[in-house]
Structure 1
């Protein structure tokens, strides 16, 4: 079949898959010079299969939506009908997961919102999909989802009901309860299947598993799934609730409005800002920023003390939090009011806002405040300079005694002893709790038990470990950066800088950005580690921040720069005084706090 020309136009290149009634090929449209996918009916297809094949063509031909694969042509070759559709080569939907705080979690929620919109369009045309699975929602190379494979589509206005012995056609793992029982279906059955697909994507496991189809179908009908966040603590409660709403047993209880995951996305973006380095994966990638080419200095505020490394600003509910000397400072961005909460010793760790404000200090205590009320505290064996990692009911605290302390619902659960000081915050990624220690090792732990899964020699680590698209980006004190796959335990590349790395890196869509004491900002290709460009900026202690296609960097010489992905400076402010705290990009402004405790507000207009 390879090389066969269909319709004098479509030359088959390679098989992509085969099912009971048809096979799918990658092909070249020689007339337009583009690659396409061709679905070709098997030569011995039975009449019901031919009927289902043409049903799929009719279903697809009436659909025009960016979240649905497009039919481009229809033909027949030697009695075998085929149709041509756009080629989607990014893999199945579940490749977006599991859910991680940071840009990867944002991608999943954006994709879920688009699939919800696609289903709304599908149902408005009077069509049910009936077999929504991860493999039937493919991704473009850019990660945009496309609903496809309408072989079991059901036209609501036609009296057609295709079954096979035992249950209605479909895939048991993702099948709605009413579909499992062979009852008449409504569009709410597709929403249930989407909920099951999202559950699998977010957690890495389907909502129900069993030894056979009947065992799985029984659970769909009668049993409740575990909350997704119980399997993956990085999943925000609101996201888990949205998925469970789609998995309601009764169709009328499932929400159908396309904005379901857009609302979850908005809440998640706000939640990301409340964590240093923008999430548990410590990527330095923030959801929004104003156009830096239009920035001007809009105002200054006195924070009342020094803001040194390793401090970091976080944002939640219109307020910014930062450790300044022995105070936790809270800045109301609407009124400009600066409020200080005094502590017995210096606030040395970046705060975290999660149902209260978590603060670690030089006195070795981590505290949770709600308003001015001390709600909970715990004592470690030494100073705390790393921000706590808060995942649902779990809190992980890295201390300079080399011990990671873990608490669940405010109760101690385990301690893990490393061989050196812990200066960098823990990173949670791909189901692993990752610790970079000053003894030169990366430790990978089970997040629930503290059991050591493995450790890898890296070099002393002071700055947070970043993570994105299945890779860890590990900065060492000596100035070397490693890209590491935490599941295969393979080092993918390493790149050597000239000076120490104090602050966190920033991860963009294709590159990882790093700057250190040698005064150079570098853009490294995520795949190869090759340097795409470099730029002299000055000595950098503060971590970098990335948002909306720009890197934000502040230096010891008092420069604040916005640099685009080509390495061009698009905005610069000087004379700010030494800066050791990462810039904080927000939707309408970028904040820079200098070492002397002055907060600069750069906005548009």
Structure 2
């Protein structure tokens, strides 16, 4: 059968979808040699459907915005109108979810910000979409959102038409209350629908579910959705509040400013900096970093105590926190002042800053300080060498007595007893709590009850599992690295290195970075585990840090290196003394602290 060619240039290749009035095809523009999408009216379409089809073309043709799919051409073939659009092949918006603490969460917020800007442009042009769903916000292969499918849009020629009576056409799962009731529509109806899309993306579920459309519409009109963080504890409260604001029942209460998620995104980035390994997914992927080729030593501070493995710096509100000796050091980066919060025993775990500052010590206790005041203490039966995991009002403490202690609002929630010492911080990912033990097992727990979902034999674990892209990357003390799918429970690949692994991994979009005690830094392909490149660096005890396209690491020989994604050293400083704490990338500088507690500040300029 000969291929169908529209307008003498658009060769249809494969159907992408079909609706009540039209079908969409992937096609090739033979004149320009590029792939496109073609929307073609069904041959038996009724006159109202034809009018809606042409309305969509008119609406789209007026819009020129990077967040809106672009119309490239219009034509008619044997009485069937069609129009040609740019091809968007990255899937629907909700594929970005669920929300995780790390790069994935940041991508959702960045995409949400772009959709808000696209909607603002749409509404400025006097157009309502009226049917925003995850499938009507497609992603490019790079993850950029594009609003499309304007089949139910209508034009608002003048501002007074903003109060024109709406129609109940649309998708019930994402429909605004006023649209469900057939009341006049404004651009705020699109904002509600996008809020519902975001809710599903963050949590995996829509704000309301029911046995039929009417049950869902009733809830949109009369009931309040649960906070997103109640379904997914990884969602920060500020993010959940922004989504609930879009889901306000009354249109005038919904925020319409395009920058709604800009402040939330900045808060989320700050939250990652305040958590060891850059968030609960422990990816080591920090949100921002300087151009390393411009780095130079800008200053040095004495923290007044030793800073050894497994310590780690965190940043919050212009201050850096790190356990040194028998104290928690707080460094004001603006003034250079160093303050100390005394502890009964040596600090033994990286601190966490969430509402207060949490730090563990060798006496088996985790303390939360607010300012200079001791606010709360969690007591275990052995040393705490892993940073606490703080998710909203829940705190998880892993102890070398083999027990994971869980608290909610400072009250005991549960205890889980593993088969060996717990030396690594818990990892929260895909709704599960992952705890690695020195007895060679990785335990997957229900974060609310501590119930064991399953366990996987790995090998002794001293560093936390890192997660990204739906995969857990598990480093073991013996030098194996496993890629593990936490939902299918399948091992995707494993790599055996020469020597022990002390510090945490770092991840970017394509690579897993690992440095063993043999002195070699390796970049492994995330999909296959194959070695992309390796580099002799020296013995690495500290975890690796990644930011702004570069890997930052420091060694026992006193080297501080910045390495690009091709394995090229782009910055090096030597003579720092032994380093056992991961470098901390910040927007304009990278901090490195040696075992003696000397903090080096490498800044740009």
| Corresponding residue for residue 22 of structure 2 | 22
Contact 1:444 1:455 in 2 (8 A): yes
Superimposed CA distance per residue, residues 426-482 of structure 1 (whole angstroms, 9 cap, x where no aligned partner): 000000001111111111110000011111111111111111111111111111111
Change (3 A) 1:161 1:260: closer
User: Which structure 2 residues correspond to residues 345-384 of structure 1 after superposition, within 5 A?
Assistant: 345-384=345-384
Superimposed CA distance per residue, residues 164-193 of structure 1 (whole angstroms, 9 cap, x where no aligned partner): 9xx610000100000000011000000000
User: Which structure 2 residues correspond to residues 1-80 of structure 1 after superposition, within 5 A?
Assistant: 3-80=3-80
1:549 equivalent in alignment to 2:523: no
User: Which structure 2 residues correspond to residues 239-388 of structure 1 after superposition, within 5 A?
Assistant: 239-388=239-388
Change (3 A) 1:502 1:245: same
| Corresponding residue for residue 206 of structure 1 | 206
Worse overlay, 489-498 or 116-125: 489-498
1:503 equivalent in alignment to 2:503: yes
Give the TM-score normalised by structure 1. Answer: 0.98
- Give the distance between the partners of 1:267 and 1:49, measured in 2 at CA: 46
- Give the distance between the partners of 1:27 and 1:446, measured in 2 at CA: 46
Worse overlay, 425-434 or 74-83: 74-83
Worse overlay, 493-502 or 396-405: 493-502
- Give the distance between the partners of 2:510 and 2:262, measured in 1 at CA: 25
| Corresponding residue for residue 595 of structure 2 | 595
Superimposed CA distance per residue, residues 227-279 of structure 1 (whole angstroms, 9 cap, x where no aligned partner): 11111111111111110110011101100001100110011111110000000
Superimposed CA distance per residue, residues 485-513 of structure 1 (whole angstroms, 9 cap, x where no aligned partner): 10111111112211111000111121111
CA positional deviation for 1:8: 1.3
| Corresponding residue for residue 493 of structure 1 | 493
- Give the distance between the partners of 1:413 and 1:31, measured in 2 at CA: 65
- Give the distance between the partners of 1:399 and 1:388, measured in 2 at CA: 10
1:432 equivalent in alignment to 2:439: no
- Give the distance between the partners of 1:160 and 1:191, measured in 2 at CA: 14
Superimposed CA distance per residue, residues 107-153 of structure 1 (whole angstroms, 9 cap, x where no aligned partner): 00000000000000000000000000001001111111110110001
Superimposed CA distance per residue, residues 369-425 of structure 1 (whole angstroms, 9 cap, x where no aligned partner): 001100011111211000000000000000001111100000001111111111100
Superimposed CA distance per residue, residues 31-65 of structure 1 (whole angstroms, 9 cap, x where no aligned partner): 11111111111111111111111111111111111
- Give the distance between the partners of 2:174 and 2:265, measured in 1 at CA: 23
CA positional deviation for 1:162: 11
User: Which structure 2 residues correspond to residues 341-490 of structure 1 after superposition, within 5 A?
Assistant: 341-490=341-490
CA positional deviation for 1:163: 10
- Give the distance between the partners of 2:27 and 2:164, measured in 1 at CA: 31
Contact 1:2 1:14 in 2 (8 A): no
Contact 1:2 1:13 in 2 (8 A): no
- Give the distance between the partners of 1:160 and 1:286, measured in 2 at CA: 44
- Give the distance between the partners of 2:20 and 2:130, measured in 1 at CA: 17
* 3-state secondary structure, aligned to 1:602: strand
Contact 1:154 1:160 in 2 (8 A): no
Superimposed CA distance per residue, residues 191-216 of structure 1 (whole angstroms, 9 cap, x where no aligned partner): 00011000110111111111111111
Deviation >4 Å, runs of 4+: 158-164
Contact 1:162 1:168 in 2 (8 A): no
| Corresponding residue for residue 135 of structure 2 | 135
- Give the distance between the partners of 2:248 and 2:424, measured in 1 at CA: 42
CA positional deviation for 1:346: 1.1
* 3-state secondary structure, aligned to 1:390: strand
Change (3 A) 1:163 1:91: farther
- Give the distance between the partners of 1:368 and 1:50, measured in 2 at CA: 65
* 3-state secondary structure, aligned to 2:495: strand
- Give the distance between the partners of 2:483 and 2:273, measured in 1 at CA: 25
User: Which structure 2 residues correspond to residues 151-162 of structure 1 after superposition, within 5 A?
Assistant: 151-157=151-157
* 3-state secondary structure, aligned to 1:108: helix
Contact 2:162 2:185 in 1 (8 A): no
Superimposed CA distance per residue, residues 70-127 of structure 1 (whole angstroms, 9 cap, x where no aligned partner): 1111111111111111111111101111111111110000000000000000000000
| Corresponding residue for residue 579 of structure 1 | 579
| Corresponding residue for residue 523 of structure 1 | 523
- Give the distance between the partners of 1:16 and 1:491, measured in 2 at CA: 33
Superimposed CA distance per residue, residues 515-542 of structure 1 (whole angstroms, 9 cap, x where no aligned partner): 1101111111111111111111001000
Which structure 1 residue ranges, 5 or more long, are not aligned?
none
Change (3 A) 1:162 1:123: closer
Residue correspondences, number: 603
CA positional deviation for 1:157: 2.1
Contact 2:505 2:543 in 1 (8 A): yes
* 3-state secondary structure, aligned to 1:55: helix
* 3-state secondary structure, aligned to 1:32: coil
* 3-state secondary structure, aligned to 1:262: helix
- Give the distance between the partners of 1:9 and 1:492, measured in 2 at CA: 44
Change (3 A) 1:160 1:333: closer
- Give the distance between the partners of 2:388 and 2:297, measured in 1 at CA: 32
Contact 1:2 1:12 in 2 (8 A): no
Change (3 A) 1:580 1:365: same
* 3-state secondary structure, aligned to 2:539: coil
* 3-state secondary structure, aligned to 2:26: strand
Change (3 A) 1:263 1:122: same
- Give the distance between the partners of 1:160 and 1:452, measured in 2 at CA: 54
CA positional deviation for 1:319: 0.3
Give the TM-score normalised by structure 2. Answer: 0.98
User: Which structure 2 residues correspond to residues 565-576 of structure 1 after superposition, within 5 A?
Assistant: 565-576=565-576
- Give the distance between the partners of 1:466 and 1:358, measured in 2 at CA: 21
Which structure 2 residue ranges, 5 or more long, are not aligned?
none
1:112 equivalent in alignment to 2:112: yes
CA positional deviation for 1:297: 0.2
- Give the distance between the partners of 1:362 and 1:73, measured in 2 at CA: 69
- Give the distance between the partners of 1:134 and 1:109, measured in 2 at CA: 15
1:169 equivalent in alignment to 2:169: yes
CA positional deviation for 1:348: 0.5
* 3-state secondary structure, aligned to 1:40: strand
Change (3 A) 1:269 1:160: closer
Contact 2:551 2:565 in 1 (8 A): yes
* 3-state secondary structure, aligned to 1:168: coil
